[in-house]
Structure 1
Amino acid sequence: MRVIGVTGGVGSGKSFVLNYIEEHFDARVVKADDVGHLLMMPGQVCYEPVIRLFGDWIVNEDGSLNRETIAQIVFEKKDMLEKLDKIIHPAVKKYIVREIERSKKEETEFFFIEAALLLEDNYDEIYDELWYIYCEKEVRMERLRRDRGYSEEKARKVMENQLSEDEFEAKCDFLLYNDEDVAHTYLQIERRMRTYYEPM
């Protein structure tokens, strides 16, 4: 099984690329954000530590955590974001390692890990290679405004908190251009995936 990390700036279209891969190949896709949300649910490993960090007032009436409030706090207070990351990121990584082992036993051909912090969190210990999804900053800004309702200020601030394009490109094994030409994106994916079936 080949383990592939997928990263890119916010709004670059990582989910779009991975949805296509999941539909057309024998591939398991795990997104770090989704795992983080799962592990913050009642009874999961991050639930109590997050309550201890923020206080009982972030718990909704149904027992779930108010993720919108948490997101707002960490967006404004970098120290709280760092503390939250120390709770969530190691647990997410441990979960993903377990899922990789499970997929190997199921003889899945490909395992894709999608996370914004693959480089920062040393996921190179886990994946065989890294894909970087590239998209022009202006297109990403427009996607964030259109799809997530971000203000221009919020979109810029989120982008500033991520590694630069040069840093991503220097570390990646495959650069995929995901502009507005969907057919071109699909073609790049198909060509790359075909290389894994060709004899060395």
Structure 2
Amino acid sequence: MFKIGLTGGIASGKSTVLTYFKDKGIPYIDADIVAREVVEPGTEGLEAIVDAFGSNVLHDDGTLNREALGAIVFHNEEKRRQLNDCLKEHIRNRIMELTAHYESNRAAVLIYDIPLLIEGEWYTMMDEVWLVYVNELTQIERLMSRNGFSKEDAMARIKSQMRLDDKRSYADLIIDNNGTPQALTAKLDTIWSDRLEPLLQKPQ
């Protein structure tokens, strides 16, 4: 099974790229979905968060209050690291479980959409790393127009992540998304025919 690690940054267009390949029927693991699964009521992940941050991060029905937790961790690097430590093992275990599931079903290709692909060293288990890249100015402009952020808010969110320029050296394939949506689709069509179709046609 050929493992592709897909990475990018806020407003880089990574979700658009993933959707393109999802629509082609390529199986994927979305770490954001996994992160939500491991904090469902009754999970060890949620228990770890309550132990670390207190029960005021819960709604009355026992589900995680993401807004309350976000307010605690967003501008505080130490708290953000603490949250990451609470969930890291649970997320990793679930991703490995899903990987085994796709391997047993003889999937030819599996895409991993993991925000901390580089920082969490997930890239080391990938056959290729694909980076959806935009320059910082494009990120700022898209965040301001798409989310209504001020320039300061946009910069704060960008600065809370690893710089896309620093991710370039890890990438086997850089998908430049500074242009139009049509230009991106044309690039993805080429990647599909040149890189993925040959993998799918190989006998498993």
* Normalised TM-score (structure 2): 0.89
Alpha-carbon distance, 1:197 to partner: 4.0
The C-alpha deviation readout for 1:70-120, integer Å capped at 9, x for no partner, is 111101222111110011223212211111110111222221111221111
Partner amino acid for 1:170? Answer: S
SS for the counterpart of 2:126 is: coil
**Counterpart of 1:106?**
105
Change (3 A) 1:131 1:157: same
Alpha-carbon distance, 1:180 to partner: 4.1
Q: Distance in 1 between matches of 2:11 and 2:140?
A: 7
Q: Distance in 2 between matches of 1:122 and 1:90?
A: 13
Alpha-carbon distance, 1:151 to partner: 3.5
Change (3 A) 1:74 1:23: same
Q: Distance in 2 between matches of 1:68 and 1:131?
A: 31
The C-alpha deviation readout for 1:147-196, integer Å capped at 9, x for no partner, is 44433322211211222233211110000012342222122222223324
SS for the counterpart of 1:76 is: coil
Change (3 A) 1:9 1:187: same
**Counterpart of 1:36?**
35
SS for the counterpart of 1:159 is: helix
Partner amino acid for 2:127? Answer: D
SS for the counterpart of 2:106 is: coil
Q: Distance in 1 between matches of 2:28 and 2:105?
A: 14
Identity %: 25
**Counterpart of 1:189?**
188
For the 8 Å contact 1:97–1:126, the answer to whether it is kept is no
**Counterpart of 1:75?**
74
SS for the counterpart of 1:82 is: helix
Q: Distance in 2 between matches of 1:125 and 1:91?
A: 19
Gaps of 5+ in 2: none
Alpha-carbon distance, 1:41 to partner: 1.3
Change (3 A) 1:92 1:148: farther
Alpha-carbon distance, 1:124 to partner: 2.2
The C-alpha deviation readout for 1:28-60, integer Å capped at 9, x for no partner, is 122212211221110223010001111011110
* RMSD of aligned Cα (Å): 2.0
Alpha-carbon distance, 1:20 to partner: 0.8
Equivalent residues in 2 for 1:63-142 (5 A)? Answer: 63-142=62-141
Matched, 1:54 2:50: no
**Counterpart of 2:14?**
14
Q: Distance in 1 between matches of 2:76 and 2:135?
A: 28
Task: Report how many aligned residue pairs link the two structures.
Answer: 199
